[in-house]
């Protein structure tokens, strides 16, 4: 993840980068394939839907440039077990922008913070909480980028960790969990460095 960008002006030696979002406002996002990989398995959901709000205009701070207010996952399974995902415990989550991808100027790098999510199968055989590395209430983050050319939010990494795991040895306390997914954002948005 790139460091936060800085600009120089005559009034200030360094000032935090600011961003322009257009059109901003309410948005929805859909992914047809999300995965959460732990050392012993991959949790797969065939559908995920999000809704939230982006700030609008220019001169915006990259931290908290938007929020995810609702997030659902459907048709989820791990090792043949169907499970439900509960994200409501810590919503809304913050959307943050940290810089422009040096390898692709259409992409802005960023993170989603404030994450705590719980999974459970219908028979109680597999339960776990995914949060930051500090414990089941430590809000975690995922990282990735927003692609202005495609209006896609792509999640690639983060610090999610399994806690309070009781899942037949498939998921264990302390397991690192890599979340990946590509969300199509509607209406199409652009996020650019001022």
- Mean of pLDDT over the chain: 92
Both structure tokens of 191: 């996020």
* Domain spans of the chain, in order of start: 26-193
pLDDT band, very low/low/confident/very high, at 15 (cuts 50, 70, 90): low
Residue 57 CB partners (closer than 8 Å, separation 6+)? 20, 21, 24
pTM score = 0.90
What pLDDT is recorded for position 60? 98
Q: Are 148 and 1 in contact (CB under 8 A)?
A: no
Whether 14 shows a pLDDT value over 70: the answer reads no
Q: In the predicted model, is pLDDT for residue 17 greater than 70?
A: yes
DSSP conformation letters of 167-191: BTTTB-TT-B-EEEEEEEEES--EE
Looking at the chain, the whole-number percentage of residues with pLDDT higher than 90 is 90
Taking only the tens place, the pLDDT of each residue in 106-162 is 999 999 999 999 999 999 999 999 999 999 999 999 999 999 999 999 999 999 999
pLDDT over 90 at 3, yes or no: no
Q: Which of 153, 191, 187 is nearest to 26 (CA)?
A: 187
Distances from the Cα of 153 to the Cαs of 23, 44, 85, in angstroms? 16, 18, 20
DSSP states along 29-92: EEES-EEEEETTEEEEEEEEEEEEEE--EEEEESTTSEEEEEEEEEEEEETTEEEEEE-TTTPS
């Amino acid at each position: 993840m790139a460091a936060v960008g800085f600009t120089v002006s005559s009034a200030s030696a360094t000032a935090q980068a600011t961003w322009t979002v257009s059109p901003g406002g309410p948005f929805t996002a859909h992914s047809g394939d999300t995965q959460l990989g732990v050392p012993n398995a991959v949790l797969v959901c065939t559908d995920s839907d999000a809704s939230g709000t982006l700030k609008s205009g220019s001169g915006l701070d990259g931290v908290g440039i938007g929020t995810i207010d609702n997030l659902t996952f459907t048709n989820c399974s791990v090792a043949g077990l169907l499970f439900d995902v509960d994200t409501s415990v810590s919503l809304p989550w913050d959307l943050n922008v940290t810089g422009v991808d040096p390898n692709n100027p259409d992409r802005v790098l960023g993170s989603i913070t404030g994450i705590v999510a719980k999974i459970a199968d219908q028979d109680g055989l597999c339960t776990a909480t995914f949060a930051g590395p500090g414990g089941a209430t430590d809000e975690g983050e995922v990282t990735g980028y927003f692609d202005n050319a495609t209006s896609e939010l792509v999640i690639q990494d983060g610090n999610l960790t399994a806690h309070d795991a009781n899942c037949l040895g498939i998921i264990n306390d302390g397991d690192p969990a890599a979340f990946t997914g590509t969300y199509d954002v509607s209406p199409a948005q652009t996020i650019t460095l001022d």
